[in-house]
Amino acid sequence: MDGEQIQPPPTESDALDAYSRVVTGVAARVLPSVAALAVRSARGNGAGSAVTFTADGLLLTSAHVVDGAEGGNATFADGTESRFDVVGADPLSDLAVLRVRATSVPPAELGDADRLRIGQLVVAVGNPMGLAGSVTAGVVSGLGRSLPARDGRLVRLIEDVIQTDAALNPGNSGGALADSAGRVIGVNTAVAGYGLGLAVPINSTTRQIIGDLVSTGRVRRAWLGVAGVPVPLPPEVAERTGQRRGLRVVEVVPGSPAGSAGIYLGDVLVSAGGRPVQSGQGLQRLMLGPAIGSRLPVTLLRRGAFVDVITIPAELTH
């Protein structure tokens, strides 16, 4: 081993430097795309954050930030101010799309929250308590959380919510949660308690919701008319299907698409549209616009035997 130089182990200072480089790099990349919102509605004045995601001035924020408002003012990190209009909002995902009237702000890159891992570094960028351009960092504390969302009398769980210990405070809602590469993987939506923040994920489902808001200003959802509870699948079924849980049907609405298709109380939903169904949230994930009026094959477990039915989801109306 003569002549070979032994490298000293990394010091705590080296680790902190690496951490700081990541956080400052993400801040430099994302901050220019984040706006502080001043919202005016019939209920009074409010504030929040939003993140630019297209070059022509579309912003993403939380639906509750702009609830009841038609517009307001957006102020960016470089001092640029612009009036914004609400393109569309979806309270059941707590997402909204805004358009600013004049901006040269660079768009942030949207990532994929489905690739996140617990313990991964994330950076929150927003405008808490009126402090514009605030940056906090932490880790992904949990994945797959659920957050109740209400639209009138309708209550639905926002699924796959990201839990982080990055400090979030009033005004952070609608701001960006970014990964170490500066990709926006979530929209900060709630402060559940001290040291606990939640963010709506950016994934294939929410991308479709965002696309619907951009194109039509609203999100159409399908409806089957069943309620269920997760249950373990029998070992032989779990081995055959590669999934451990299914959804036992505990309610079928009379005259609903599920009832018309021949789904009964006690059936266990195993898959729908070729995708595993292991929870009510998993089934709801399939119930977006394209499912309305389309054939949706459903595989059931009934008295120990597989049964296939064809459902035609109808449009959910409030």
The predicted-structure confidence for 241-256, as pLDDT tens digits, reads as follows: 889 999 999 889 888 9
Q: Which residues contact 83 (CB under 8 A, 6 or more apart)?
A: 71, 72, 73, 74, 100, 101
In the block, residue with structure tokens 């599920």: 258
Nearest to 135 by CA among 105, 75, 196, 176: 176
**Positions marked catalytic:** 64, 94, 173
The predicted-structure confidence for 25-84, as pLDDT tens digits, reads as follows: 999 999 999 999 998 877 778 888 999 999 999 999 999 899 888 889 999 988 889 999
Least confident stretch, 19-33, 89-103, 113-127, 132-146: 132-146
DSSP 221: B
* pLDDT (average), residues 121-141: 80
How does residue 225 score in pLDDT terms, banded at 50, 70 and 90? Answer: confident
Q: Return the pLDDT at 55.
A: 92
Single pTM value for the model: 0.78
Residue 310, pLDDT > 80, answer yes
* pLDDT (average), residues 207-229: 89
Rounded Cα–Cα distance for residues 162 and 65 (Å): 19
Percent of the chain with pLDDT over 70: 86
* pLDDT (average), residues 95-123: 91
Considering only CA atoms, give the Rg of the chain.
23
Better-scored residue on pLDDT, 281 or 163: 163
How does residue 307 score in pLDDT terms, banded at 50, 70 and 90? Answer: very high
Nearest to 116 by CA among 24, 26, 184: 184
Q: Return the pLDDT at 14.
A: 64
Other Cβ atoms less than 10 A from the Cβ of 292: the count is: 16
Asked if residues 32 and 76 have their Cβ atoms less than 8 Å apart, the reply is: yes
How does residue 308 score in pLDDT terms, banded at 50, 70 and 90? Answer: very high
* pLDDT (average), residues 156-161: 69
Q: Return the pLDDT at 157.
A: 60
